[in-house]
Amino acid sequence: MADVQHDSPTGVTIPPLPKVLREPAPVIIVGMAAWLVATIVALVTGVGGLTLSVCLWGLGVGVLGTMIVGLQLAAVRRGSKTAQEGLE
């Protein structure tokens, strides 16, 4: 998918996004780090309750996202026809 260039309705060729902007890993790492910091702050300050629950759910969603990306990368490496494109 990275090598495919689509023509816009005006006839101008649209270049593909650079690989650094297509990689999910940096976004996942930054997001999980932010939720981890928020969780630690919530624990240290003793806020607890809803704030701590939201922080823990944020970490959980990050773990789930990491698992999904890992499964998709494994499918790409296997050559699965149903794998997400553009992750290699």
pLDDT tens per residue, range 14-53: 888 888 888 888 888 899 999 999 999 999 998 879 999 9
Calculate mean pLDDT across residues 59-75: 90
Q: What is the pLDDT of residue 54?
A: 95
Q: Is the pLDDT of residue 64 over 60?
A: yes
What is the Cα–Cα distance from 34 to 85, expressed in whole angstroms? 28
Calculate mean pLDDT across residues 49-74: 92
Q: Six-digit token pair at 84?
A: 């997400």
What is the Cα–Cα distance from 88 to 84, expressed in whole angstroms? 9
From residue 41, give the alpha-carbon distance in Å to each of 11, 18, 48, 49, 55.
52, 35, 10, 13, 10
Q: What is the pLDDT of residue 48?
A: 79
Q: What type of residue is 5?
A: Q
